[in-house]
């Protein structure tokens, strides 16, 4: 069985749900406490064994490239001031065995199209996809690591899923599964009355490279975009794809409320000032 070594990070989306904050800054660069969303997702991928990271980006997302690049001026200043701890954090965002490359999506034609832009970089091996605006706190078992473990047992495609509110099925890819969690049906953003279940796909996927030939044939679907979900609907006709109800908490950081919740919770867990933050919250709520 081939190892999951490569991951695609589609980051070319416009972030319209988070305007005006995302007018000039990528939504993936918004910080939860002190790290941008994209860094949490990159760390999750690395913890799952990923060694090659491919961002599918656009002209408005240069800050992401800068974040993972070396910043000589900043490093020199931190060195001069003796700020060793923060210097080491800035320097070692990714370990040396991990490589990062970028490919441009020239038109915003949808998630499926974004994934297709990385076809040549993935080649003929199974790979992961991570949507950084879904921040998932899996504790000591990060979500993608859990999925890689299921992949190792089954060799199947794996999608992370969770129960969503019936009224919100039109915000997700919705799956119908059999008793072994194998996906029997998948629909992009169905209306509540048409949804096959309330099991929604969140932004973590492990897929075989066959998905690329299916994406090439995929016509525009929901929202007039080329949808990854529609290519997966074709894939399940021939290949097993399993829905993994992951352990952990997912924050929809593409939404303002989800982002606030993430900041509150990650603030409480922060090693430096978590206790002080919690004390503040308690005083604020009781006072
Ligand atoms: C995308 C996918 C959708 C999935 C969701 C998870 O939608 O198209 O199937 O459920 O991510 O966050 P988006 O949120 O980009 O509209």
Helices and strands counted in the chain (H then E): 11, 13
Asked whether the beta carbons of 26 and 15 are under 8 A apart, the reply is yes
Q: How many whole angstroms from 19 Cα to the centroid of ligand 1?
A: 18
- Given a cut of 90, is residue 37 above it in pLDDT? yes
Instruction: Place 93 in a pLDDT band, splitting at 50, 70 and 90.
Output: confident
Instruction: Give the rounded percent of residues in the chain with a pLDDT score beyond 90.
Output: 87
Question: Residue 13: what pLDDT?
Answer: 85
The whole-chain average pLDDT of the chain stands at 95
DSSP 97-142: T-EEEEEE--S---HHHHHHTTHHHH-SS-EEEE-TTEEEE-TTS-
Coil, strand or helix at 89: helix
Whose CA is closest to 144, among 270, 42, 16, 259? Answer: 42
Question: Residue 239: what pLDDT?
Answer: 98
Q: How many whole angstroms from 249 Cα to the centroid of ligand 1?
A: 17
Give the number of the atom of ligand 1 that is nearest the alpha carbon of residue 200: 10
285 Cα distance to chain centroid: 33
Instruction: Place 55 in a pLDDT band, splitting at 50, 70 and 90.
Output: very high
Q: How many whole angstroms from 172 Cα to the centroid of ligand 1?
A: 5
Can you tell me the mean pLDDT for 163-168?
Answer: 96
Question: Residue 258: what pLDDT?
Answer: 96
In 23-108, where do the E strands start and end? 31-32, 35-36, 52-57, 99-104
Coil, strand or helix at 170: helix
- For atom 16 of ligand 1, the residue with the nearest CA is 171
Q: Which residues contact 138 (CB under 8 A, 6 or more apart)?
A: 44, 145, 146, 246, 247, 248
Instruction: Place 245 in a pLDDT band, splitting at 50, 70 and 90.
Output: very high
- Given a cut of 90, is residue 14 above it in pLDDT? no
Give the number of the atom of ligand 1 that is nearest the alpha carbon of residue 222: 8
Give the number of the atom of ligand 1 that is nearest the alpha carbon of residue 227: 8
Question: Residue 29: what pLDDT?
Answer: 95
pLDDT digits (tens, 9 = 90+) for 137-153: 999 999 999 999 999 99
Question: Residue 59: what pLDDT?
Answer: 85
- Given a cut of 90, is residue 206 above it in pLDDT? yes
Strands 241-245 and 199-207: unpaired
Q: How many whole angstroms from 171 Cα to the centroid of ligand 1?
A: 7
Angle at 94 between CA 92 and CA 99, to 5 degrees: 135
Instruction: Place 103 in a pLDDT band, splitting at 50, 70 and 90.
Output: very high
Asked whether the beta carbons of 187 and 195 are under 8 A apart, the reply is yes
Model pTM score:
0.96
Question: Residue 281: what pLDDT?
Answer: 96
Least confident of 13-17, 67-71, 144-148, 265-269: 13-17
Instruction: Place 238 in a pLDDT band, splitting at 50, 70 and 90.
Output: very high
- Given a cut of 90, is residue 110 above it in pLDDT? yes
- For atom 7 of ligand 1, the residue with the nearest CA is 172
Give the number of the atom of ligand 1 that is nearest the alpha carbon of residue 201: 10
- Given a cut of 80, is residue 120 above it in pLDDT? yes
Q: How many whole angstroms from 190 Cα to the centroid of ligand 1?
A: 12
Question: Residue 60: what pLDDT?
Answer: 84
Instruction: Give the rounded percent of residues in the chain with a pLDDT score beyond 70.
Output: 100
- Given a cut of 90, is residue 15 above it in pLDDT? no
Question: Residue 287: what pLDDT?
Answer: 75
Q: Which helix (H) or strand (E) holds 206?
A: strand 199-207
Question: Residue 24: what pLDDT?
Answer: 87
How many Cβ atoms are within 10 Å of 22's Cβ, its own excluded?
Answer: 19
Packing angle between helix 228-235 and helix 210-217, nearest 10 degrees?
A: 120
CA distances from 29 to 23, 35, 109, 236, 268 (A): 12, 8, 22, 34, 21
Angle at 12 between CA 8 and CA 18, to 5 degrees: 120
Q: How many whole angstroms from 203 Cα to the centroid of ligand 1?
A: 7
Q: How many whole angstroms from 227 Cα to the centroid of ligand 1?
A: 9
Cis peptide, bond prior to residue 96, ω within 30 of zero: no
Pocket of ligand 1 (CB under 6 A): 111, 131, 134, 172-173, 188, 200-203, 227-229
Q: Which residues pair with 6 in a beta bridge?
A: 52
Whose CA is closest to 112, among 211, 226, 5, 205? Answer: 226
């Amino acid at each position: 069985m081939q190892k999951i070594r490569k991951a695609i990070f589609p980051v070319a989306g416009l972030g319209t749900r988070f305007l005006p904050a995302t007018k000039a800054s990528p939504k993936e660069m918004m910080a939860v406490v002190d790290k941008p969303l994209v860094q949490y997702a990159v760390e999750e991928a690395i913890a799952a064994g990923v060694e090659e990271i491919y961002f599918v980006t656009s002209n408005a997302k240069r800050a992401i490239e800068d974040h993972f690049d070396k910043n000589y001026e900043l490093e020199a200043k931190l060195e001069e001031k003796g700020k060793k701890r923060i210097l080491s954090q800035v320097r070692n965002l990714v370990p040396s065995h991990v490589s990062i490359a970028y490919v441009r999506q020239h038109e915003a034609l949808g998630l499926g199209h974004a994934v297709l832009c990385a076809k040549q970089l993935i080649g003929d091996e199974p790979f992961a996809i991570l949507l950084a605006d879904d921040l998932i706190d899996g504790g000591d078992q990060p979500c993608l690591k859990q999925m890689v473990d299921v992949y190792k047992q089954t060799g199947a495609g794996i999608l992370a899923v969770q129960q969503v509110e019936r009224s919100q099925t039109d915000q997700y890819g919705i799956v119908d599964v059999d008793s072994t969690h194998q996906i029997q049906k998948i629909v992009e953003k169905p209306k509540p009355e048409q949804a096959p279940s309330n099991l929604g796909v969140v932004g973590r996927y492990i897929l075989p490279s066959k998905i690329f030939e299916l994406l090439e044939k995929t016509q525009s679907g929901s929202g007039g975009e080329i949808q990854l979900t529609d290519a997966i609907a074709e894939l399940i006709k021939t290949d097993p794809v399993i829905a993994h109800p992951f352990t952990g908490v997912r924050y929809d950081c593409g939404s303002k409320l989800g982002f606030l919740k993430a900041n509150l919770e990650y603030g409480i867990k922060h090693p430096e000032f978590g206790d002080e933050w919690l004390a503040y919250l308690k005083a604020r709520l009781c006072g």
